[in-house]
């Protein structure tokens, strides 16, 4: 039951020159599912990655970090669902490396030129034979137009595939950006989301690309939360195939570079917000703006306290304007010298609380009207400074409990 999210149409997803995608059924967890995807990247593609800050990071995340640090051009991505290859120790690392080696052999490249990604159940051995056996089928399937197939191929508890595409003219050259993402639970990305892949044919210098990967993640995947659980496998990859014919972006502050980055950010945000809209059991899409803080970090801290409060989330689910719960979350967010008499609270255009108490003109019917909507904006003003930040989240419903109580069955 995704919130205001529709399945993308394949014809709306622009091909990115230099990027081909193939999908296959490896039978990793269940039969009959396209659970294996491969991205092939033309020579000359630059790749930057941002990965989970979870200290229990998965084997493929460790291998990705190694391979990106190794300095060889990345030529392929291999992604499986059904098994996260996390909490699997040294054996898990060996299995992730084995998949890279097998694919590298078939492509005639080095294993360090492959990035592996896994998502699914934690602490179970990766069925590496089944993955390796299905690689030829995935390679036989490759085509530049297969973005939607890949968006479907990386789904786990997602109810809809997530993909988005835009074009922009940069220095007279038409640049294409297309991306996919997945994730619906264990979502509180810290440096990246479950899985997000964004490719452009723009020509972007590697140093700019890496800096942008981090900035894009910060402004999109790192501003969403469903259940506060930072995954072991969060990965966000930005690929630039350098085939659009634009002048290489080397100065991130140039006007054309900024315009390009804004469109990249738009695509990343659409993909990140799609994850929230498809959050496990989600019935509401909530935007939380916190302003008037001394620092962006403290605004974010307050926004996440609200976004993670089970009481706030269940009130949204119930369309119940029990908005004191939001004030309580502001109060325990960890700002030690917060002055409650300066707090203002708005729900969309309704001024709910002023100077730390109920606004005299606030009427429950007005709060009720907003709470019934499927998209709601909460705005908190802290009255301490000029900083602000935004986080996107969803409500907590019966279906969240059902989905996660039954995940493995």
SS3 175: strand
Among 201, 313, 325, 211, which residue's Cα sits nearest to residue 258? 211
Judged by CB, which is closer to a second copy: 152, or 227?
227
SS3 211: helix
Closest contact distance (angstroms) between CB of 64 and a second copy is 16
> Binding residue for a second copy (CB under 8 A) from 295, 341, 373, 374?
341
Judged by CB, which is closer to a second copy: 215, or 320?
320
The Cα 243–Cα 392 span in angstroms is 34
SS3 182: strand
> In the stretch 29-68, what mask flags binding to a second copy with x, by CB under 8 A?
------------------------xxxxx-----------
> In the stretch 145-184, what mask flags binding to a second copy with x, by CB under 8 A?
----------------------------------------
Query: What count of Cα atoms within 13 Å lies in the side-chain half-sphere of residue 105?
Result: 9
Binders of a second copy among residues 280 to 339 (CB under 8 A) are: 308-311, 314-315, 317-318, 320, 322-325, 327-333, 335-336, 338
Among 234, 207, 204, 206, which residue's Cα sits nearest to residue 222? 234
Judged by CB, which is closer to a second copy: 70, or 357?
357
Interface stretch with a second copy, choices 41-49, 207-215, 229-237, 371-379 (CB under 8 A): 229-237
SS3 222: helix
Closest contact distance (angstroms) between CB of 271 and a second copy is 22
The Cα 238–Cα 39 span in angstroms is 12
Question: How many other C-beta atoms can be found within 10 angstroms of the C-beta atom of residue 258?
Answer: 12
Judged by CB, which is closer to a second copy: 220, or 319?
319
Phi, psi dihedrals of residue 317, rounded to the nearest 5°: -55, -40
Q: Does 383 bind a second copy (CB under 8 A)?
A: no
Judged by CB, which is closer to a second copy: 136, or 357?
357
Judged by CB, which is closer to a second copy: 98, or 322?
322
Is there a contact between 38 and 142 (Cβ–Cβ < 8 Å)?
A: yes
Count the residues of the shown chain that bind a second copy, applying the rule CB under 8 A. 71
Interface stretch with a second copy, choices 7-15, 202-210, 261-269, 397-405 (CB under 8 A): 397-405
Among candidate residues 102, 112, 193, 230, the one labeled active-site is: 193
**Token pair belonging to 171:** 């220095």
Q: Which residues pair with 114 in a beta bridge?
A: 76
> Is 45 marked active-site?
no
The Cα 198–Cα 165 span in angstroms is 9
Q: Does 368 bind a second copy (CB under 8 A)?
A: no
Binders of a second copy among residues 95 to 134 (CB under 8 A) are: 121-125
SS3 40: strand
**Which residues are designated catalytic?**
193
């Amino acid at each position: 039951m995704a919130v205001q999210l529709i399945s993308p149409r394949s014809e709306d997803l622009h091909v990115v020159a230099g990027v081909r995608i193939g999908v296959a059924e490896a039978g990793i967890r269940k039969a009959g599912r396209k659970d294996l995807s491969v991205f092939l990247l033309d020579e000359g593609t630059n790749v930057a990655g941002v990965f989970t800050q979870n200290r229990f990071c998965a084997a493929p995340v460790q291998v990705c970090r190694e391979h990106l640090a190794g300095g060889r051009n990345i030529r392929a991505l291999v992604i499986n669902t059904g098994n996260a290859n996390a909490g699997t120790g040294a054996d898990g690392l060996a299995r992730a490396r084995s998949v890279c080696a097998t694919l590298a052999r078939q492509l005639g490249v080095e294993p360090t030129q492959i990035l592996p990604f896994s998502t699914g159940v934690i602490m179970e051995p990766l069925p590496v034979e089944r993955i390796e056996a299905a690689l030829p089928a995935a390679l036989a399937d490759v085509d530049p137009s297969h973005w939607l197939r890949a968006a479907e191929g990386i789904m786990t508890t997602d109810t809809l595939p997530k993909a988005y595409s835009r074009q922009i003219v940069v220095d007279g050259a038409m640049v294409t950006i297309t991306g996919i993402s997945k994730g619906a639970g264990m979502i509180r990305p810290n440096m990246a989301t479950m899985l997000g892949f964004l490719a452009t044919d723009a020509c972007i210098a590697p140093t700019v690309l890496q800096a942008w990967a981090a900035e894009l993640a910060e402004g999109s995947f790192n501003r969403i939360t469903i259940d506060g659980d930072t995954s072991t496998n969060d990965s966000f990859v930005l690929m630039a195939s350098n085939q659009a014919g634009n002048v290489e972006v080397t100065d991130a502050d140039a006007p054309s570079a900024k315009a390009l980055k804004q469109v990249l950010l738009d695509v990343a945000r659409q993909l990140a917000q799609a994850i929230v809209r498809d959050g496990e059991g989600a019935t509401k899409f909530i935007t939380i703006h916190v302003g008037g803080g001394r620092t962006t970090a403290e605004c974010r801290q307050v926004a996440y306290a609200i976004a993670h409060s089970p009481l706030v989330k269940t009130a949204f689910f119930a369309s119940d304007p029990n908005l004191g719960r939001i004030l309580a979350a502001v109060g325990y967010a960890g700002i030690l010298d917060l002055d409650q008499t300066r707090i203002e609270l708005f729900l969309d255009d309704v001024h709910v609380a002023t100077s730390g108490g109920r606004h005299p003109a606030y009427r429950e019917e007005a709060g009720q009207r907003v709470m019934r909507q499927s998209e709601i904006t909460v705005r908190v003003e802290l009255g301490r400074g000029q900083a602000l930040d935004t986080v996107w989240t969803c409500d907590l419903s019966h279906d969240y409990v059902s989905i996660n109580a039954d995940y493995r069955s």
